[in-house]
């Protein structure tokens, strides 16, 4: 199948590579020429714009960092909407339901179907093809590309309503963010009390406190001090803000997630826009006067 792929970052590059390895013809575009060149070296066809990608493939997939960028790539000048062949726009990004519905309507005016399909599983999941894909949109159109989606992960059909997949992604991401922030506070507290950080993780992961941060993120990036999980605190903050906007529209109280937003904002402000999500522990460490570090076993 001919597939267009726009956005070749930490996640997108691996997804596009897997599609190539599965035997699909993949036409790629990114604002960074080096990213295009890396995929072209593996057999991808290089394009010069989103519109050119949409001229070459019926199915165009995008993996982009922010809702505004997705909107511009989908519907802006020289965007996917101007392509002559495109039939499906598959959004693997996290934009929130409101933006998804806006793009859906604009593309529908040109006869292009939007499929919301945000993903979860991080860079490792993208590399291994084990992502969770949260799809919503016309069932027959999703069925037509299920073999393609199976190459990058496991697909969950959330329904035909535009934006349902996006809401599901935000629900997932705020839980992940809450786990990371709460674990950071708990681990720093234990460290300040004199507990060994590796022993704390071993105990937690054998008990009821275990979560994605204790099972994976802390051992990989916090204890060794590498802070390199490959996803920024700024992007996670964006997702949390999108969730808070949706819950406000729905009238749901979410005091815990509001606190998560504050700590992520503090991380971005103090550590920087490029700070890894694992760096959320650093503002807490700075105030407590201890660092949660231990050499790898």
Residue among 130, 155, 120, 101 at smallest CA distance from 236: 120
In the residue annotation, 291 being an active-site residue is answered as no
Q: Which two tokens stand for residue 234?
A: 């700024």
CB atoms < 10 A from the CB of 283, how many?
A: 21
The C-alpha angle 280, 286, 290, rounded to 5 degrees, equals: 100
Do residues 30 and 53 make contact, with C-beta atoms less than 8 angstroms apart?
no
From 169, 192, 217, 238, active-site residue: 169
* Matching residue, tokens 């720093």: 188
Burial letters 40-59, b for 16+ CB under 10 A, else e: eeeebbebebbbbbbbbbbb
Contacts of 149 (CB under 8 A, 6+ apart): 117, 133, 135, 142, 155
Instruction: Tell me the catalytic residues.
Output: 169
């Amino acid at each position: 199948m001919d597939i267009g792929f726009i956005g070749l970052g930490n996640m997108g590059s691996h997804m596009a590579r897997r599609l190539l390895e599965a035997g699909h013809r993949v036409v790629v575009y990114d604002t960074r020429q080096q990213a295009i060149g890396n995929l072209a070296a593996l057999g991808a066809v290089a394009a010069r714009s989103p519109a050119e990608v949409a001229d070459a493939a019926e199915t165009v997939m995008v993996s982009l960092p922010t809702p505004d960028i997705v909107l511009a790539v989908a519907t802006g000048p020289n965007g996917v909407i101007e392509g002559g062949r495109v039939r499906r726009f598959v959004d693997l990004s996290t934009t929130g339901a409101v933006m998804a519905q806006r793009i859906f309507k604009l593309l529908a005016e040109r006869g292009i179907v939007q499929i919301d399909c945000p993903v979860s599983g991080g860079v490792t999941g993208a590399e291994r093809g084990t992502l969770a894909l949260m799809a919503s949109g016309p069932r027959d159109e999703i069925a037509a590309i299920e073999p393609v989606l199976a190459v990058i992960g496991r697909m969950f059909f959330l329904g035909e309503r535009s934006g349902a997949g996006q809401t599901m992604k935000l629900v997932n991401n705020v839980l992940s963010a809450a786990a990371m922030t709460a674990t950071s506070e708990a681990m720093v507290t234990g460290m300040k009390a004199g507990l060994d950080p590796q022993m704390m993780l071993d105990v937690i992961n054998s008990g009821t406190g275990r979560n994605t941060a204790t099972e994976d993120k802390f051992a990989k990036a916090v204890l060794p001090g590498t802070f390199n999980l490959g996803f920024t605190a700024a992007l996670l903050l964006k997702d949390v803000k999108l969730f808070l906007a949706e819950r406000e529209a729905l009238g749901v109280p979410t005091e815990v997630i509001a606190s998560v937003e504050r700590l992520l904002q503090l991380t971005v402000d103090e550590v920087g826009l490029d700070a890894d999500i694992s760096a959320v522990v650093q503002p807490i460490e700075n105030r407590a006067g201890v660092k949660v570090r231990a050499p790898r076993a």
